[in-house]
Amino acid sequence: MKTFDNVPALYAQLEEISSRAKAIAFDPLLREPLSQVLDSVFSVSGKQLRPALLLLFGRAGSCYPDCEEQLLTAGAVVELTHMASLIHDDIVDDSPTRRGRPTLHSRFGKDMAVYSGDYLLSHVLSQLMRQDMLEPGRVLAQSISNMCSGELGQYASQFDVQTDENRYFMNISGKTAALFSAACQMGALISGCSQQAVSFADRFGHSFGMIYQLRDDLIDCIPNSDADGKKQGMDFINGVYTLPVIYSFKDAEHGPQLRALARKAPSMDPIELSSELYNHISAAGGIDYTHWAMKQHRARALSSIAQLPSVQLRGQLTALLDEIMA
Amino acid sequence: MKTFDNVPALYAQLEEISSRAKAIAFDPLLREPLSQVLDSVFSVSGKQLRPALLLLFGRAGSCYPDCEEQLLTAGAVVELTHMASLIHDDIVDDSPTRRGRPTLHSRFGKDMAVYSGDYLLSHVLSQLMRQDMLEPGRVLAQSISNMCSGELGQYASQFDVQTDENRYFMNISGKTAALFSAACQMGALISGCSQQAVSFADRFGHSFGMIYQLRDDLIDCIPNSDADGKKQGMDFINGVYTLPVIYSFKDAEHGPQLRALARKAPSMDPIELSSELYNHISAAGGIDYTHWAMKQHRARALSSIAQLPSVQLRGQLTALLDEIMA
């Protein structure tokens, strides 16, 4: 992992956040079968981007480093929220794998998946109460609500070849960017930043999350770009039309062909599908347009942190941004 | 409805709690399709037993009636938590109906059901934060965790004809009694009761919830006792073995026949099954034993409130207890 090499101190803090997340989830009253399910959840490790952003903004205010304790717990809470959302997303996706490994619901059934997610959320709630984190808790609660709206909005647009960019951006803003934004705001709040700096953190996190999702959606369209053990073209097959596709739907030549492809996608050979999909959207400019949208959000992210006083922090955030753009 | 006729003031407060729950759920940012889903959730009204218990214990402390505002919001939060749990339970049950009406996931799909439940939970969290309800929030969070453990414990025991009373009681204690107990404790906490009175509320709510579930489980075993539009014998068909069945499994004569019935239940005509099931468990004493267990919990519930100073409150709680025993 090289993601946080520009802030090496993050590695130890993220390690500690992992331990805390585990300690919170594996409470002393935990019994089978939940402990087995959680073992499986914790065995898949992500990049911890959300807690990393929380930690970075947690250095922006005057309470740092006194607030480190709270930052570490808040980081664990954000990571547990993310885990709960992944577990619930998997039920909905019916994905057999996530990050190249079997999903919880495919291994343990959807009963386990529903309640494991809820169980983690109950511990998120409990920790926020225990630590008196009222304001960060409000921010987190709002982001969970936005995540649900975004996911449901996406569901409502499924298989709709008339869907548009606005709906797409609204949906990914909820389902993905909301939690990034919450993580940044929570860090800023806990470290005692001004209201203005908290709103910078909000905007930075939003743009960061948008880029993160745009990149993920792009990867799904480009054959052999598979880094996470995910098959390409799955969004398209599942009727989740992402920016490269939505843009290309409007193309005079490739639009009608893409819509025809959408109709026959579920019955096609996935490799053939993914290659045809790529040919259409790259010819229609959907790939370039998505890159352009990512750059727009990068510019917005940078402008939102331009007024942060710490040159070092700005550099670290910019480096992380460029890391996920790559 | 005659449930709360012994405390007529509750009707107006429960009406207000319903309005608040709706106002919390239908936040100004709500958009389709979630608003449609929530319309459907709110169109089915329950008995509001949990908020009623919260209100009753909310009269036990010295802060009443000054704390009425907080009690009403806490009641709404408890009702929303209950709704979220019903929505998630339905996904797991695959129940096509609940209270005689189509379940959310059968009408809108499990995507909607997962996120509608999570959405409601996020608003529960948000309200607790907004109202600074740290201690009641901790209690509620713990009960959600227990609910998940109970549901998962039940799932782990499914179709296990060797399951025993201890596991059964542990599971229903989590899946049902925990939220009743939390509601009672929250009322007591908000009204400023002593720690001892809060623990009385805890124990009363626990026993109340146990009786509630025992009665529900009994109804499922008795043909034509259907009051909620629920088919009989469904627990047994789904491999959820409840106390009347577990007790009868041990019977020398009827036990083996019941286990044989369990094996062929899924392929049987439901009416025939429900009649055979009833014959075995009533002959084996499973019905009587469950009634006995309910009476034991009634005695415990009464002993837990015996030291409450208000004669009136004790009378009201006893009346409500007898109402659900009937």
Structure tokens at A27: 């409470």
Give the pLDDT score at B230.
Answer: 57
pLDDT band for position A90 (50/70/90)? confident
The overall average pLDDT reported for chain B is 91
pLDDT tens per residue across span A249-299: 999 999 999 999 999 998 888 888 999 999 999 999 999 999 999 999 999
For residue A216, tell me if it sits in a domain: yes
Rounded mean pLDDT, A73-79? 97
pLDDT tens per residue across span B214-260: 999 999 998 876 555 457 888 999 999 999 999 999 999 999 999 99
Domain of A238, CATH number, reads: 1.10.600.10
Q: Is A196 on the interface with B (CB under 8 A)?
A: no
pLDDT tens per residue across span A36-54: 888 888 887 788 999 999 9
Q: What is the ipTM of this complex?
A: 0.90
For residue A25, tell me if it sits in a domain: yes
- Chain B residues with CB under 8 Å of A121 CB are 118, 121, 144
Q: In terms of pLDDT, which residue wins out, B6 or A95? A: B6
Question: A294 lies in which domain range?
Answer: 9-325
- Chain A residues with CB under 8 Å of B31 CB are 149, 153
Distance from CA of B199 to the nearest CA of A (A): 19
For residue B3, tell me if it sits in a domain: no
For residue A105, tell me if it sits in a domain: yes
Distance from CA of A97 to the nearest CA of B (A): 18
Rounded mean pLDDT, A183-209? 97
pLDDT tens per residue across span A225-247: 655 545 788 899 999 999 999 99
Contact B110 A110 (CB under 8 A): yes
SS3 per residue for chain B: CCCCCCCCHHHHHHHHHHHHHHHHHCCCCCCCCHHHHHHHHHCCCCCCHHHHHHHHHCCCCCCCCCCHHHHHHHHHHHHHHHHHHHHHHHHHHCCCEECCEECHHHHHCHHHHHHHHHHHHHHHHHHHHHCCCHHHHHHHHHHHHHHHHHHHHHHHHCCCCCCCHHHHHHHHHHHHHHHHHHHHHHHHHHCCCCHHHHHHHHHHHHHHHHHHHHHHHHHCCCCCCCCCCCCCCHHHHCCCCCHHHHHHHCCCCHHHHHHHHHHHHHHCCHHHHHHHHHHHHHHCCHHHHHHHHHHHHHHHHHHHHCCCCCHHHHHHHHHHHHHHHC
The structural domain count of chain B equals 1
The overall average pLDDT reported for chain A is 91
Distance from CA of B207 to the nearest CA of A (A): 20
pLDDT of A93 over the 80 cut: no
Give the pLDDT score at B1.
Answer: 44
For residue A1, tell me if it sits in a domain: no
Q: Low-confidence residues of chain B, pLDDT below 50? A: 1, 229
The residue of chain B with its CA nearest to that of A127 is: B138
Contact B31 A125 (CB under 8 A): no
Distance from CA of A50 to the nearest CA of B (A): 19
- The winner for highest mean pLDDT among A74-78, A148-152, B305-309 is A74-78
For residue B4, tell me if it sits in a domain: no
Give the pLDDT score at B266.
Answer: 85
- Chain A residues with CB under 8 Å of B132 CB are 134
For residue B167, tell me if it sits in a domain: yes
Rounded mean pLDDT, A137-159? 93
For residue B188, tell me if it sits in a domain: yes
Give the pLDDT score at A1.
Answer: 44
